[in-house]
Structure 1
Amino acid sequence: MHIELATAPSAADLKTISQGIQSYNQEHLPDQLVFEPDTRFPAFARNEQGEVVGGIRANAFWNYCIIELLWLSAQTRGSGVGSRLMAAVEAHAKAQGFNYMRTETLDFQAKPFYEKLGYQVYGELADCPKGHTTYCLIKAL
């Protein structure tokens, strides 16, 4: 047995891993869940010049929509842009049939923001990254 860490894996090798977990999952889940494609989508906030000043990168599958990244430029923070972006993403996720939103945030990032929007902490990772706490949050749509 040879263990290899790949920083530039081939598409074929990545596909083998995906198909392997799908095959295993088929033993426990209905096919429509096993073979459901990821639904990746962004939401952007643009200023009057058309420049991106904030955005969300989301990925949805099964019955969850996961906020992978949320960024707001310094000039847009606290102006309601983040809440408007979240509302747009949540509305899209709900319209697509997803039941829950999930995300993670660090202790110096947006935990109070998410809680204000109805998210609840369901887990904490202490000292991750070192010296900080990662909070895992969820919200039912």
Structure 2
Amino acid sequence: MPSDVAVILTDSPSAAAIQRISDALDQFNTVATGIADRAPVAVLAVDLATDEVKGGVIGRTSLGMLFIDLFFLPDELRGSGLGSQMLHAIEEEGRRRGCRSAVLYTITFQAPAFYVRHGWTVFGEVPCDPEGTARVFLSKDLLAGHP
């Protein structure tokens, strides 16, 4: 290890540190692939009366893949079809951006069945806490059934 570099563990990296690492990895990927297509994407559920964000889907696209990182709707909006509409919207945006596939993970007590109902496939599970739960990893072929 170089003597002029320290390894520091932190639970609160600065926004600048996160951006530096993200940008450096993106640059590495661009050099390796010749493709510079990384971009954030979000679908938000916004209260029209207050402009308050009630929930949403946060993700990114890169190298032909849509990554769904976060998806939350409060209890009062679940079961209304809004979640399905939002999932469809982010999948469509992924297709529009040229993504062939999508990936996400959820937890067994969250919504794996919701994604399966929408054509997502479980490709792995990793046990986590609390005991008896697992992270569920899912993917979807965004081109299946689409021209």
Comparing 89-98 and 6-15, the one that deviates more: 6-15
Quote the residue 1:47 is aligned against. 47
Between the aligned partners of 2:93 and 2:21, the Cα distance in structure 1 is: 31
Q: How do residues 62-101 of structure 1 correspond to structure 2 at under 5 angstroms?
A: 62-101=63-102
Q: Give the CA deviation at 1:117.
A: 0.3
User: 1:96 and 1:14, CA in 2 relative to 1: closer, same or farther beyond 3 A?
Assistant: closer
* Cα RMSD for the two superposed structures: 2.6
Cα deviations by residue, 1:1-32 (Å, 9 ceiling, x for unpaired)? 34222443584796478547855885xx4322
Opposite residue 119 of structure 2, the aligned amino acid is G
Quote the residue 2:8 is aligned against. 4
Q: What is the count of residue pairs matched by the alignment?
A: 135
TM-score norm. by structure 1 comes to: 0.80
Between the aligned partners of 1:13 and 1:83, the Cα distance in structure 2 is: 31
Between the aligned partners of 2:89 and 2:18, the Cα distance in structure 1 is: 36
Comparing 109-118 and 3-12, the one that deviates more: 3-12
Percentage identity across aligned positions? 27
User: Gaps spanning 5+ residues in structure 2: where?
Assistant: 143-147
Opposite residue 59 of structure 2, the aligned amino acid is A
Q: How do residues 1-141 of structure 1 correspond to structure 2 at under 5 angstroms?
A: 1=1, 2-6=6-10, 7-8=12-13, 11=16, 15=20, 19=24, 23=28, 26=31, 29-32=32-35, 36-49=36-49, 50-126=51-127, 128-131=128-131, 132-141=133-142
User: Gaps spanning 5+ residues in structure 1: where?
Assistant: none
Cα deviations by residue, 1:55-101 (Å, 9 ceiling, x for unpaired)? 10011101110110000011111111000001110111101101111
CA contact (8 A) 2:26 2:38 kept: no
User: 1:58 and 1:129, CA in 2 relative to 1: closer, same or farther beyond 3 A?
Assistant: same
Runs of 4+ in 1 over 3 A off after TM superposition: 6-26
